[in-house]
Chains A and B, each alone.
Chain A
């Protein structure tokens, strides 16, 4: 009977080998699929079972995890919800994460290398492992002012406020916004309902318009034309340009008109200063033609347009001035139309560079990484991306922008504060003449010692029926309110 027993022993070994082969297939080959399957709760449960770090701004908590008695040990909370959602983003068990919650996830969940020694000591002391804290550059008062100004008026739009000297982002608002709290709910149903509502919203609420959308900059692009002109050395603010109310684009029959078809003043020509103040399209079309494509393109790149992949740490959609295939295209480009498209952040970077003696600083949102006990582990050093214009040209541009601001009407002027600004009203859409324009206001203040640079964008002129909306009327009051909030904080 020994032969069958030996064969059975071999069969048993084969059975165990078969089991092992199958287990190897599941635990090695298929492991990735199973681990990341949406229906596998384990990975997310692991994240929920340790305390995620907080996101704060000047001591104000924007996002935190609090202990709960619920199904999971911690609950994510956003005390100021919608106003700061464009900064914090959301953190959802079902729908993953967005905003800083996603971009700074390694720090917040504690897996970042900078938290390594902390993790090690947690392991030894037996403390619950927890994530690091993220301190943002946001000034809560400025953010709130920006959000309130946009949302109180019911606008769809964005505001970015930068500290010109460093590139620190003081505010980054986008409206309409959403409340991230229901997405962090421990109830999957609440999450699903909120997600369905947010993704179906029109206009979209989950989009951060400050960095995820690009818009034609309209007349605010004329600052770049002027910068290119002044940098060339061949122009001064008193250089004369055409004052015609309409010109024909080079090599075409297409007319190009000034806003409302007005002439640029009463004389036959207008100075560069006047042309910028009145935002005369014809004058800038002529100027661009004289400067040539390369000068405009170089100047735009010097301000960072289309050159840098910016991460703040959230990825910023690249801005572009497009392919300029003809002189007519160049003329349209020079007034911020055709293929030119900037994010509000990029437009804020342009004025911030002018405010900062031409030095273009990399924008950033995280000022500090902290351990669980709020001890600083890393701070962000300001980073200069380049020199956009010479300090002299920056000063001249500042003077011109001061001249602009002083000629603008509109609400919200701040007593005792000199603002330097430029408005923009950009046509867009398939039928631009009957679509309300996007309106812009880019500015910095105080002009003599800039503390804050802002870009305000209101989509489709604030409300969708207002064909007469202009940057000066709609966007400027918001920009001034934000500047006011920023300067109050810095005094």
Chain B
């Protein structure tokens, strides 16, 4: 209807977005009903209320988009909503299983995770709207590039310098535990650093194509031109390696390479980066016992099934048991895998939804990511292009690292599946990331400001006018 009234402009796609959001809410409610039917063998009207509440939340986000970014890509928000919803259902489902087990063993009830995740979803949507509200033009962000980069580095390094008592959880020193809730500042640092890298590369872009030494037949920019970028990059990857957050360091490494490649249009950067990576990986393998363990588990998880290989082994059993069609939501045993709701969300979903379900989820991710990259193609400014590419590729690389790790495609490094896994920081940060993508896609799809059809004649050529003579 909005489109009908606004006949002159291109379609905004907002109606499509609303319909797709409703579709996502129906799917999520259906999934919830299946979980309930399989786990508790009872169905209550509450489920429909929960579904309706979820839809209401999505509609609120939709209205915000309609007001603040009316031309934003209509597929992005529904894709995110569906992933977030499926994640919530699976977290709820794992809570049920854990509670059942605790009751059976006579233990205290475990902390339920789904109410927290619902709360984090609320916070995430608030930040989503906030980012859309505050960032009216993504190009303004470039002005704060160094501030963002600095803040990002501090956030990243903070857990490393703070005492373990408030920064370490399960061996990874990447947390800030603030009373009742904990956040992973690295998740937010990710976005800030992407803003910095994108802005910096746009600023220095000309340098890459002009100056440079030749090395192995490739033109390299002068080191000092790239110094701030390389320093920031080396610093962040170094910090993460020291914090033993292998997944995130891999993520940063990949993002910077891709941004360099996009900005310079030179494959040489990828090749140099990848050879650095190979060398770094080799050194890390030699230096760090935990890296060696990861690689050994990757090669044969069943060699040490009762020890280090237990988690990935259980995940593979879960995926195998799920097979093509899955056991059905609520009818599998995903809770047998440690960290089933976070790092191993993939195997939880794969066991109960099967290969078919995982394929659908991968397609949703692909839609989300390619829509982000499409905005990068369509947006007119270089900073927007780089920023959108960086943000979209972050999602892609993170999905690849996590899903590949949980399915023994690559060595396991703990990360979360964007929007699906349990984890407040990841969810909230990714909602901010999506808000930025929507902002850029709005800029890409919005019509150019219309010039007046016939310019007014200059004042000098205006005719004279007979005015009634004052009496």
Binding site for B on A (CB under 8 A): 1-6, 8-9, 12-13, 15-16, 18-20, 22-24, 26-28, 30-35, 37, 39-43, 45-46, 69-73, 126-128
Contact = CB atoms under 8 A, between A and B. Distances in A.
Interface of B: 37, 41-43, 104-106, 258, 261-263, 265, 302, 305, 313, 316-324, 332-333, 336, 350, 354-355, 358-359, 362, 365-366, 369-370, 373-374, 376-377, 382, 385-386, 389, 392-393, 396-397, 399-400, 403-404, 407-409
Contacts of B106: 69
Given A9-B373, A16-B365, A128-B41, A23 B262 contact: no
A28 B104 contact: no
A19 B409 contact: yes
B96 to A, nearest CB: 14
A7 to B, nearest CB: 8
A8 B400 CA distance: 14
Given A19-B404, A42-B321, A5 B262 contact: yes
Given A23-B407, A27-B322, A40-B320, A71 B104 contact: yes
Contacts of B258: 8
Given A12-B396, A127-B41, A40 B265 contact: no
A139 to B, nearest CB: 39
Contact of B323 (A20, A31, A72, A73): A31
Contacts of B263: 1
B324 A27 contact: yes
A126 B41 contact: yes
Contact of B362 (A2, A9, A16, A39): A16
A8 B393 contact: yes
Contact of A70 (B104, B261, B318, B369): B104
Given A9-B370, A19-B407, A28 B323 contact: yes
A42 B359 CA distance: 23
Contact of A28 (B321, B355, B366, B409): B355
B386 A1 contact: yes
A26 B407 contact: yes
Contacts of B333: 41-42, 45-46
Given A15-B397, A23-B359, A27-B354, 13 more contacts: A1-B385, A4-B389, A8-B262, A16-B366, A19-B407, A23-B407, A26-B316, A27-B322, A34-B316, A35-B317, A45-B333, A69-B104, A126-B42
Contacts of A33: 320
Contacts of B354: 27
B265 A3 contact: yes
Contacts of A16: 362, 365-366, 396, 399-400
B320 A1 contact: no
Contacts of A20: 358-359, 362
B316 A12 contact: no
Main secondary structure of the interface of A (DSSP, over half): helix
A301 B324 CA distance: 50
Report which residue of A37, A42, A72, A126 has the largest number of chain B beta carbons within 10 angstroms of its beta carbon.
A42
Nearest to B403: A19
Contacts of A69: 104, 106
The 7 closest A-B pairs by CB, nearest first: A34-B320, A40-B317, A27-B355, A4-B262, A22-B409, A31-B320, A12-B396
Contact of A40 (B321, B355, B358, B396): B321
Contact of A27 (B323, B386, B393): B323
Nearest to A45: B333
A24 B358 CA distance: 10
Contact of A34 (B319, B365, B373, B389): B319
A197 B142 CA distance: 75
Contacts of B323: 27-28, 31, 35
Contacts of B261: 4, 8
A73 B101 CA distance: 10
B369 A12 contact: yes
Contacts of A15: 396-397, 399-400
A46 B317 CA distance: 14
Contacts of B399: 15-16, 19
A12 B369 CA distance: 8
Given A45-B333, A73-B104, A19 B385 contact: no
Nearest to B396: A12
A484 to B, nearest CB: 48
Contact of B408 (A26, A32, A72): A26
Nearest to B263: A1
A68 to B, nearest CB: 9
Nearest to A126: B41
A347 B276 CA distance: 80
A5 B320 CA distance: 36
B313 A39 contact: yes
Contacts of B350: 23, 27
Contacts of A19: 362, 399-400, 403-404, 407, 409
A42 B322 CA distance: 10
A43 B321 contact: yes
12 contacts: A1-B386, A4-B389, A5-B262, A8-B389, A20-B359, A31-B321, A31-B322, A33-B320, A34-B320, A41-B336, A69-B104, A126-B42
